[in-house]
A and B are shown apart, each in its own frame.
Chain A
Amino acid sequence: MGFWDALRGRRTTSAPNLDALFLVPSAAVTLQTSMGLTPTGEGSVCFRSAAGAAFQETQAEVVALIEADPETPEVEVTTDSFGFTWLSIERDPDEVAGLCTDLHAVNTALEAQGFGDGLLCSLVPFQVPGGARVGLVYLYKRGTFYPFAPKGPQQRDNLLEIQVRDALAAELPVEQELSRWLAVWGAPGL
């Protein structure tokens, strides 16, 4: 946000680049070959639901759109303790490309109705061989990815996160500022 906008009391955000989501399938292959992480077939989009009927209508349309797919992935809508809505999609673990198309569709549909400001992130979880899980988070406003590996109720496995970052650095726009690696405790699929 520029100084001039600040002076006028306005808030402007940069234009997001949703196409980065299509880089996830190849990143999934890299994670599988280099670290043994396997996709779980789940994916979710986290957003702020706006007050009013228009948003409810948009959300219902989005869910209907995803469910209209002949392969009928499962769609679930949950609300977390911070008041953010998680729209989670479950597909066959092999279909990462299809999953990313779904996530992209959800993001674009909300954006098209003027609710882009409320989009927080998209998440694709991966299975670690030991049993833990690590999520690849796409920050909508920044257009960057970062890993999130929860370990216990309020602890993160930072070592694993750094490993994932280094493995993906060549393939995805990775969030450079570590302070922006927002923790998403209790996200669906983690």
Chain B
Amino acid sequence: MPRSRFIKDTGLIVRMSTVMFLLGGLFVALIVGLMFAAANSGYSRMVPIIGLIGIGIAGWQWWNSDKAAMRAMRAYEVTPEEYPELHGIVDRLCTLAEMPKPRVGISEMNVPNAFATGRSPDRAVVCVTTGIMGKLTTEELEAVLAHELSHVAHRDVLVMTVASSAGIVAGMLMQGSRFGALLGRRDRNSAALFMITLLASLIVYAVSFFLLRLLSRYRELCADRAGAYLTLKPGALASALQKITGEIAMIPQQDLRAPKSLNALCIAPAISCATLKTLTSTHPSLEQRLEQLARIQAELGRPTT
């Protein structure tokens, strides 16, 4: 009887689903709460419009994610003739994973990194820096590409963008209510409304910030798992991660041109954050990732029956 060596991580799925649910709930609570608060001040009709604009901005970001990320990383698309080896690896991984082949890009940077972006698996682009190609062996590069392809298969760009809508709306409201408090009508009702809005959006913004980072870390762990099962060599991803994260810390700050928003989809974060490090980082700690890979390795090595 064929059985898969894939081990389910129910705990991770439950935690991740909870975070996604909370982020969705936060968005709805913000909009509904504001509608109630604004019910007798004449602004109530504006609230759903603000919500729609927030979703619209998130949607626009998602739609243009491939172009924006490529530009930010100074990456360009390459053909199979230019990089036959890189294309060969992606070709085989996509055949193994039974997914459409994404475009392949190169970014001429010395920082060893890789990222995947794009609005859907059909429109995705997987990009590596020239730094990572020089530092990793073929097997390790393949493991990194498998991790990135898992991001594509899991539609992480879409998930993260949708999840960030609450934060976007809260950010807009924070700006808007500050502006409104200064220039708005000077009656008591609207002044109180602006204060409530400012306070509520501040709280929502802070909460969604932490939840988003948490979700981002869970998505990374998922991509690690899927990538390791795709190549069947968890050890290769582990050694690649050790090489990359170890080296990134040593590279001087002026080389890190990647903007912060892109970090969530990189293989390893390019900017280190000293305070509140574990709570705000977009990536799980190296120890956590290595531990998960070791577990997968043990399962793959389980004796035959």
Contacts and interface: CB of A to CB of B under 8 A. Distances in A.
Interface of A: 1, 3, 6-11, 13-14, 48-55, 57-58, 61, 81-84, 111-118, 120-121, 139, 141-142, 154, 179-180, 182-183, 185
Contact of A11 (B142, B150, B218, B301): B150
Contacts of A112: 1-2
Contacts of A154: 84
Given A1-B153, A9-B223, A51-B300, A117 B230 contact: yes
18 contacts: A1-B98, A9-B223, A9-B226, A11-B154, A13-B98, A48-B231, A50-B232, A54-B301, A82-B89, A116-B2, A117-B4, A117-B230, A117-B232, A118-B96, A141-B97, A141-B98, A154-B84, A182-B92
B229 A11 contact: yes
A186 to B, nearest CB: 11
Contacts of B32: none
Interface of B: 1-6, 12-13, 16-17, 20, 84, 88-89, 91-92, 95-101, 138-139, 142, 150, 153-155, 159, 218-219, 222-223, 225-226, 229-235, 297, 300-305
Given A81-B138, A117-B230, A182 B95 contact: yes
Given A52-B297, A117-B229, A117-B232, 6 more contacts: A1-B98, A11-B153, A13-B97, A57-B303, A112-B1, A154-B84
Interface centre among A9, A14, A84, A114 (most CB of B within 10 A): A9
A13 B99 CA distance: 10
A35 to B, nearest CB: 26
Given A9-B223, A11-B153, A51 B302 contact: no
A115 B5 contact: yes
B167 to A, nearest CB: 19
Contact of B91 (A1, A52, A183): A183
Nearest to A177: B100
A11 B218 CA distance: 15
Contacts of A8: 13, 16-17
A179 B94 CA distance: 11
A142 B155 contact: no
A48 B2 contact: no
Contact of A118 (B91, B232, B234): B232
Contacts of B84: 154
A114 B5 contact: yes
A116 B4 contact: yes
Nearest to B89: A82
Interface centre among B1, B84, B92, B219 (most CB of A within 10 A): B92
Contacts of B1: 112
